Each structure stands twice: as structure tokens, then as C-alpha cells.
């Protein structure tokens, strides 16, 4: 088995090859590759001082900034497993993921102290809590500075890991709605860089990357870490919540050449009062997370003069495996296979379908996850040998371009993030006035699906109260954008909700973003 350590390859390699003076990252601090290499070595030693063993999990509930960036790389280097987790989750959701991962260490930002502290009550296996800055008051834990100091005198050298060693677990609702940890090897990280990064983006040392998607997403960690570091380029980290105004300020200050976002954010940029020269430094923009509607793509390019290449990836595949290409964009399609990946469309019996016939999208490539952590049934349903069943329905044109027709099940995406209708419905049904609930995706004015709830109530309650009820119990992005009251939900003879009829009822409903 071949030795390979993703942390060594992404960072320390550049110093060894004489490129330590290049700027690697711009965040709260600007670090060259030599300075990043030094910091990663120090954090590696600090994690070892906590008594971690090979393959121990380190969960990150942190803002995108230098500590999170260096911490993930240090986990790779130390032979541990980095588990970046969404900062949008509530305490209950966060606690379930931390407990499921069996994490030994949690690194957190003080911004999320209340939910992290509550989450840890459900995760007794966690031995250490590290704050990525100063510790909040009355916190029995380590600060970032204390972690760095604790590593003094310990080995800073990268561990000897194999291509197949665990490096990164990313939790996703994926195809079944329950969060599951997709387990990625060290080699998977190199593969996405050598395929999409090299052969689609054409990334080089002179590029500067800025991603709206955060590091806890598969899409974001590729954009902000894997691709720029693999090429010796520069990444821009932004800890704040992404808004058009924040984006405009970073564009002016850092002059990115590669820009990454999701369709919902491209719509927000178009709706904002931004100067038409905001993106003049950008040579190429990318979109993923959900299908990019052709009118939205054309309006953005027409206004800002930047080409967007739309693609599809998944947490299970680590990044994008089907994409449009620079200079060959076909709006409304997801493009063609990325070099290094094979695509098949299959019918319900598993037989390949001909061009023009819809089929379930399957992908094969070296970046496919090893499976889901402790989820045997789900792994068997999604991973079949070398192939991954994405859960998406596509059709292929005779010239090889693929077009998305939607999900093969009831899951939907809001802002590029998976939303399980069953999870939102369950929260609604906890409300004492809600008798029945059905949540479906309805397109907004940009053609982007948003969660809309249809409810049958047994008493007086307003739509605003139910939306707030969901906000209080779920991550905010999962909330229904609208609530529609019905006397009864359409059902089959056996009592199963007919979601297609719910969608038909809402077909002409105007949905807010």
C-alpha cells in the first residue's frame, strides 16, 4: 500500500520545493506557505499533546479562518480524522453528530459556545474542548494559544499514513435524510485536485480563490483548501456570514481570480446594488449545490461579464464530478463528466438507459467515500462496488451534455444544502396546533427550490408562528419559507401523503427566497 499524507502534500511539499514565500492564505492573518507549514506543525504537535491516537476524530465547529484551516490540515498530518461540522446546526443536531463520530476533541469558535456546551452533554466520549481563540468565561477547556504551547517538545512531523487511511469525515443528509459521516481517504483529496482542480478550473500558482461555501461543506473545503493549496495558489477565508456586501468588500480587497458560490447566492448578488465591475478580477466562476437555472446564469454573465461553470458533486464524491467547461458552457445543463470519472444513467432495474431517457445518476471515480460511518444499510443502498448512486435523476443528450431533472426521492435543497422534508414535518408536528404536515420544494422567481409546508391544524396558529417554531428547533436554513393551510392533505388509499399532488397544489404559489 502506497504511503501518502494529504497534509504533507498540500502544505509542507511547497516549502520543500522552494516555494515557501508564496502567500497561502488570507484570513485574520496572512500566511505564506512557510508560515502555514510552521503553524500546521505546531498544531499537529499540540493535538498529539492531548493524547490522541491514530484515527481519533477531531470535530471543528468553527468559523472559516486560520485556526480552522490549520487545524484541519494538522489533523491530516497527525494521522487523525478531521470532522468539520456545520455551524448552522442547533445543539441537538450538533450533539447527535459529535456523539455519532465518537470524537475525542472538539475545536469550537466562541460564537457557538451555547450550542457547543449543550451538545457536549450528549457526547460523553469527547475528552477535550479547544476554543479557536480566547475561551468563553467559566470554560474548563483550552484556548488556541494553550494548545499551541502544549505541543512544545513534541513531534511536528507528519504521520506515516497510507492512501487508504482515513483523513476526513463529512456529515451529510445525503440520500436518506439522517446525517451520516461519509468517510474519505487521504488519496481522495489528491484525486479531486488532479481532476476538477487541474483539468476543469486549470488552477495555477497565480490564482486567488474565494468561496461562499464554507469549509464544513465538501464543496467549500475543495474550493478554499484543496484546490488552492494543491497548486501553490492563494485562498481567501471569510469568517463572517456571506452577504453581497461582504463579498463585494473581499472582491475589492483581495482580487480573487476564481469565485465559487451556489445558485441562491448568485441570485442574491444579482438582486443587490453592486457595481458592474465587482467581479473584474475573476477569470472564472463556479456553481454547484443545486442546478443553476439558465436565466440566472445568463443574467449574471450579462451583468458582471463573468462566465459561470455549473456542476454537480456530492459529499460522498468529495467534490464535482460532472461540470460545464470554460468556453463550452451550455446554460441549463450540468455539462459533461470531469476527467477521472465515469457516469451512468440507470433505470429502476439497474440497466443503463439510452440518450434522451431519464435515469438515476451513478458515478465512479477515485474520490468516492469508503462508505458511511456506522450506517451499514445506508451504505449498501448508496455505494455499490465502485459506483455511487447519487439519488439524482438526469437525462443525457446525444452530444454528451447532462441535464438535471430533480431528485429520485423526496429530499430537496435550500441554498445548496440538503433538507429532509421528514425532519421539517416532524418538527411541525411537535407543535400542539398542527395535526398533519407535508413539506415539498417549490420554485421561487429564480427557479430555485425552497421548502414550503402544507399543514392541517386543529386550532388557531399563524404561518409566522410555525416558521419561528421551525427556526427554534432546527437549523435556520431548514425552515419552510412559507406555510400554506389546507383542510386536508392529498393521500393514497393507504393513507400515504401524495407529494406530487401537494406540489401540484402549490405550482402557482409565489415563494419568497
- Does residue 396 register a pLDDT over 70? yes
The rounded radius of gyration (Å) of the Cα atoms in the chain is 23
3-state secondary structure 207-260: CEEEECCCCCCHHHHHHHHHHHHHHCCEEECCCCCCCHHHHHHHHHHHCCCEEE
176: Cβ contacts below 8 Å, ≥ 6 apart: 378, 381
The strand ranges marked E within 29-102 are 30-32, 57-61, 81-84
Up-side HSE of residue 233: CA atoms within 13 Å toward CB?
Answer: 27
Q: Mind listing the pLDDT tens digit for each residue in 309-327?
A: 999 999 999 999 999 999 9
Average pLDDT, the chain: 92
Query: CA–CA separation, 320 vs 307, rounded Å?
Result: 17
Q: What is the dihedral of CA 75, 79, 219, 513, to 10 degrees?
A: -50
- At residue 226's C-alpha, the angle toward residues 221 and 228, to 5°, is 110
Phi, psi values for residue 482, rounded to 5°: -145, 155
Q: Using an 8 Å Cβ cutoff, are 81 and 167 in contact?
A: yes
Please give the share of the chain, as a percent, with pLDDT higher than 90. 75
Q: What is the per-residue pLDDT for 492?
A: 59
- Does residue 513 register a pLDDT over 60? no
Reported as a pLDDT band with limits 50, 70 and 90, residue 104 is very high
145: Cβ contacts below 8 Å, ≥ 6 apart: none
- Does residue 177 register a pLDDT over 90? no
Average pLDDT of span 394-399: 94
Q: What DSSP line would sit under 415-476, residue for residue? A: TTEEE-HHHHHHHHHTSTTEEEEEEEEEE-TTS-EEEEEEEEESS---HHHHHHHHHHHS-G
Query: CA–CA separation, 73 vs 162, rounded Å?
Result: 16
- Does residue 286 register a pLDDT over 70? yes
Query: Which grid coordinates belong to 161?
Result: 499514513
Q: What is the per-residue pLDDT for 36?
A: 98
Average pLDDT of span 38-47: 98
Query: CA–CA separation, 192 vs 315, rounded Å?
Result: 12
Query: CA–CA separation, 202 vs 34, rounded Å?
Result: 24
Residue with cell 494559544: 145
Q: Which of 125, 89, 128 is nearest to 106 (CA)?
A: 128
Reported as a pLDDT band with limits 50, 70 and 90, residue 493 is low
Least confident of 172-181, 193-202, 474-483: 172-181
Q: Mind listing the pLDDT tens digit for each residue in 422-449?
A: 778 878 988 989 988 889 988 888 888 8
- Does residue 41 register a pLDDT over 80? yes
Domains, the chain, ranges and CATH?
Answer: 6-162 (3.40.50.980), 189-407 (3.40.50.12780), 420-505 (3.30.300.30)
Query: CA–CA separation, 479 vs 6, rounded Å?
Result: 37
Query: CA–CA separation, 97 vs 205, rounded Å?
Result: 36
Q: What is the H or E stretch that residue 361 is in? A: strand 359-365
Please give the share of the chain, as a percent, with pLDDT higher than 70. 96
The SS3 call for residue 171 is: strand
Average pLDDT of span 182-196: 98
Phi, psi values for residue 218, rounded to 5°: -60, -45
Is the Cα torsion angle 408, 286, 198, 185 positive or negative in sign? negative
Reported as a pLDDT band with limits 50, 70 and 90, residue 511 is low
Up-side HSE of residue 264: CA atoms within 13 Å toward CB?
Answer: 19
b/e map 258-293, b = 16+ CB within 10 Å: bbbbbbbbbbbbbeeebeeebbebbbbbbbbbbbbb
Q: Mind listing the pLDDT tens digit for each residue in 48-95?
A: 999 999 999 999 999 999 999 999 999 999 999 999 999 999 999 999
First to last CA, the chain: 49
Reported as a pLDDT band with limits 50, 70 and 90, residue 459 is confident
Q: What is the per-residue pLDDT for 326?
A: 97
Phi, psi values for residue 84, rounded to 5°: -75, 135
Average pLDDT of span 12-36: 97
Is the Cα torsion angle 496, 513, 309, 64 positive or negative in sign? negative
Q: Using an 8 Å Cβ cutoff, are 167 and 189 in contact?
A: yes
Q: Mind listing the pLDDT tens digit for each residue in 140-167?
A: 789 999 999 999 889 999 999 999 999 9
Write the CA distances from 105 to 81, 190, 249, 366, 413, integer angstroms. 10, 26, 35, 29, 30
More confident residue, 177 or 499: 499
Q: What is the per-residue pLDDT for 294?
A: 86
Q: Using an 8 Å Cβ cutoff, are 376 and 383 in contact?
A: no
267: left (phi over 0), alpha (psi -120 to 50) or beta: alpha
Amino acid at each position: 500500500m502506497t504511503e501518502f499524507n494529504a497534509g504533507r502534500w498540500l502544505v509542507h511539499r511547497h516549502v520543500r520545493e522552494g516555494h515557501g514565500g508564496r502567500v497561502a492564505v488570507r484570513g485574520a492573518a496572512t500566511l505564506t506557505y512557510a508560515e502555514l507549514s510552521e503553524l500546521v506543525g505546531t498544531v499537529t504537535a499540540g493535538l498529539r499533546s492531548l493524547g490522541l491516537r491514530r484515527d481519533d476524530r477531531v470535530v471543528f465547529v468553527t468559523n472559516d479562518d486560520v485556526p480552522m484551516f490549520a487545524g484541519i490540515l494538522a489533523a491530516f498530518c497527525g494521522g487523525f480524522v478531521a470532522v468539520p461540522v456545520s455551524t448552522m446546526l442547533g445543539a441537538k443536531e450538533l450533539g447527535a453528530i459529535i456523539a455519532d463520530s465518537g470524537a475525542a476533541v472538539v475545536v469550537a469558535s466562541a460564537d457557538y459556545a451555547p450550542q457547543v456546551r449543550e451538545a457536549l452533554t450528549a457526547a460523553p466520549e469527547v475528552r477535550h474542548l479547544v476554543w479557536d481563540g480566547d475561551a468563553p468565561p467559566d470554560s474548563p477547556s483550552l484556548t488556541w494559544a494553550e494548545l499551541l504551547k502544549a505541543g512544545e517538545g513534541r513531534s511536528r512531523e507528519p504521520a506515516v499514513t497510507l492512501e487508504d487511511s482515513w483523513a476526513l469525515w463529512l456529515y451529510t443528509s445525503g440520500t436518506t435524510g439522517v446525517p451520516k459521516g461519509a468517510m474519505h481517504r487521504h488519496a481522495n483529496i489528491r484525486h479531486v485536485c488532479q481532476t476538477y482542480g487541474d483539468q476543469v478550473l486549470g488552477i495555477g500558482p497565480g490564482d486567488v480563490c474565494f468561496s461562499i461555501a464554507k469549509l464544513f461543506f465538501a464543496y467549500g473545503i475543495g474550493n478554499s483548501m484543496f484546490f488552492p493549496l494543491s497548486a501553490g495558489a492563494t485562498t481567501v477565508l471569510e469568517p463572517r456570514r456571506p452577504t453581497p456586501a461582504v463579498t463585494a468588500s473581499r472582491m475589492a480587497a483581495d482580487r480573487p481570480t476564481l469565485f465559487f458560490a451556489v445558485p441562491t447566492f448568485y441570485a442574491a448578488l444579482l438582486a443587490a446594488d453592486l457595481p458592474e465591475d465587482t467581479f473584474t478580477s475573476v477569470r472564472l466562476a463556479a456553481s454547484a449545490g443545486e442546478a443553476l437555472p439558465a436565466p440566472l446564469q445568463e443574467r449574471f454573465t450579462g451583468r458582471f461579464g463573468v462566465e459561470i461553470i455549473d456542476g454537480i458533486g456530492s459529499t460522498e464524491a468529495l467534490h464535482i464530478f460532472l461540470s460545464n467547461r470554460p468556453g463550452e458552457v451550455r446554460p441549463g445543463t450540468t455539462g459533461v463528466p470531469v476527467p477521472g470519472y465515469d457516469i451512468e444513467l440507470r433505470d429502476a432495474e439497474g440497466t443503463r438507459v439510452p440518450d434522451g431517457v431519464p435515469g438515476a445518476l451513478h458515478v465512479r471515480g477515485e474520490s468516492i467515500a469508503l462508505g458511511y460511518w456506522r450506517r451499514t444499510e445506508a451504505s449498501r443502498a448508496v455505494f455499490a462496488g465502485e459506483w455511487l448512486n447519487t439519488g439524482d435523476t438526469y437525462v443525457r443528450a446525444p452530444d454528451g451534455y447532462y441535464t438535471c431533472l430533480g431528485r429520485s426521492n423526496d429530499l430537496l435543497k435550500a441554498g445548496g444544502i440538503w433538507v429532509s422534508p421528514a425532519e421539517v414535518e416532524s418538527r411541525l408536528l411537535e407543535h400542539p396546533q398542527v395535526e398533519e404536515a407535508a413539506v415539498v420544494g417549490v420554485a421561487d422567481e429564480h427557479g430555485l427550490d425552497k421548502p414550503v409546508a402544507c399543514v392541517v391544524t386543529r386550532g388557531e396558529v399563524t404561518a409566522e408562528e410555525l416558521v419561528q417554531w421551525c427556526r427554534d428547533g432546527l437549523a435556520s436554513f431548514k425552515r419552510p419559507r412559507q406555510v400554506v393551510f389546507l383542510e386536508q392533505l392529498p393521500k393514497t388509499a393507504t393513507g400515504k401523503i401524495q407529494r406530487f399532488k401537494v406540489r401540484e397544489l402549490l405550482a402557482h404559489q409565489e415563494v419568497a427566497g
